[in-house]
Amino acid sequence: MNAFRQQALEVLRIEANAIAQLEQFLNEDFERACTLILQNPGKVIVSGIGKSGHIANKIAATLASTGTPAFFVHPGEASHGDLGMLSQGDVVIAISNSGETSELLTIVPVIKRMGLTLIAMTGNPTSTLAQLADVHICVSVPQEACPLGLAPTASTTATLAMGDALAVAVLDARGFSADDFALSHPGGSLGRKLLLRLEDIMHKPPLVPIVHRQASIKDALLEISRKGLGMTTVINDNGSLAGIFTDGDLRRILDQRLDIHSTAIEHVMTVKCITAKADMLAAEALNIMQQKKINGLIILNSQSEPIGAMNMHDLLRAGVL
C-alpha cells in the first residue's frame, strides 16, 4: 500500500478510537453540564486558545444554531476587556487539553467572582482547570494521531465530538424542532428548504390555468399553452376543484380519437388529483411530488378552490430541488 494511504489510514484509526473512548466519559458530570446549560437563563461562552480555540469556536457555533445562545471569546482578549461580554446567568465552557492553559486560568477568578457556572473540558481530570471548574467533562485520548505525539489531532477531534454530543443532548432536551432550526438558518439552500412555503413560489391568479368542466378539450389545451405549466385545473360551477388535465392525460387519450372541439374536458380529466395548501412547506411538497411521481401540484383554499399551481421547475428555481 502507498505510504501516504497507509499513514492516513493510521490517522483515521487512531481518531476513530479516540472518539469511541469518549463513551466512558458520558457520566454524571456530562449530565450535570447539560442540566446547568438548560437551567441557566443566560448565554454560553466558550473559550480556548490555539487549536482548542478553533474547536471552541465551532462548539459555540453549533450551540448557537441549535437553540442555545452562545458565542466564542478568546481568553487573551478576555483579559483585556472582552470579559465585559459576560453577565449574570451565563455559563462558561473552558477548553484546554492540558488543563493548564495560562490564559484560561487567568480569567477563572473573574468568572468565579461573577458567580458564573464554569464547565471545563480537558484531557486531564487532575489539572488546575478541571479542579477549579464546577463541572469537568473529560476528553482524554489514548494517543495523538501525530506520529510525534505533539500536534493536537485525536485530542481536538475528540473534543469536537464531545461538544457535538453536548449540543445535541441539550437540543433534544429543549424540544428544539426543525422549524426552530430554520429560524436560525434563513440563508442559503438550507433556509429555503426549511422555511419556504408554497405560497411563496406558487403561480397565483391570473396565472393559474383554469377551465370549467364543460369546456372542450381544445379550450383546455389552449389554457395549458397560455399558462405554460403543462396542466390546467378544471372547476365546478361553484369554483371548487373538479379535477386536473395534464400533458400526460393528453398523451393517454390520443388513441381514443376524440373530437377535441366537442368533447368536454370533464370526460377525460383526472378526478382524484393530489392537492396542497398554501402554507405547506415547499420541501414537503417536493417529497409528495417525488413519491407520487407527479410534475405539478394544485394549491387549494379552504373552499377547495384552486388559488395556486406549481411544478418541479418552480421548485428548481427556488433552490428547493
Q: Are 299 and 285 in contact (CB under 8 A)?
A: no
CA–CA gap between residue 49 and residue 36 (Å, rounded): 24
Residue 308: phi and psi, rounded to 5, are: -165, 160
Widest CA span of the chain, in angstroms? 90
pLDDT of residue 221: 94
Q: Which CATH architecture has domain 198-317?
A: Roll (3.10)
- Residue owning grid cell 490555539: 50
pLDDT of residue 14: 94
Percent of the chain with pLDDT over 90: 68
Domain definitions of the chain by residue range: 3-176, 198-317
Percent of the chain with pLDDT over 70: 94
* CB-count exposure of residue 193 (10 Å: 0-12, 13-18, 19+): buried
pLDDT in tens, 265-284: 999 999 989 999 999 988 88
CA–CA gap between residue 186 and residue 196 (Å, rounded): 9
Q: Is 35 helix (H, G, I), strand (E, B) or coil?
A: helix
Q: Among the CATH numbers 3.40.718.10, 3.40.50.300, 3.40.50.720, 3.40.50.10490, which is that of 3-176?
A: 3.40.50.10490
Mean pLDDT of 21-35: 96
pLDDT of residue 172: 85
pLDDT in tens, 191-206: 666 678 899 999 999 9
CA–CA gap between residue 71 and residue 53 (Å, rounded): 12
- Residue owning grid cell 490564559: 103
Listing DSSP states for 131-179 in one string gives HHSSEEEE---S--SSTTS-S-SHHHHHHHHHHHHHHHHHHHHHT--HH
Q: Are 213 and 272 in contact (CB under 8 A)?
A: no
Mean pLDDT of 21-34: 96
The answer to whether residue 308 scores a pLDDT higher than 80 is yes
Q: Are 59 and 37 in contact (CB under 8 A)?
A: no
Residue 37: phi and psi, rounded to 5, are: -65, -40
pLDDT of residue 191: 62
pLDDT of residue 178: 64
CA–CA gap between residue 91 and residue 96 (Å, rounded): 16
- Residue owning grid cell 427556488: 318
pLDDT in tens, 43-95: 999 999 999 999 999 999 999 988 889 999 999 887 777 778 888 889 999 99
128, containing H or E segment: helix 128-132
pLDDT in tens, 141-168: 999 998 887 789 999 999 999 999 999 9
pLDDT of residue 187: 60
Mean pLDDT, the chain, integer: 90
pLDDT of residue 86: 86
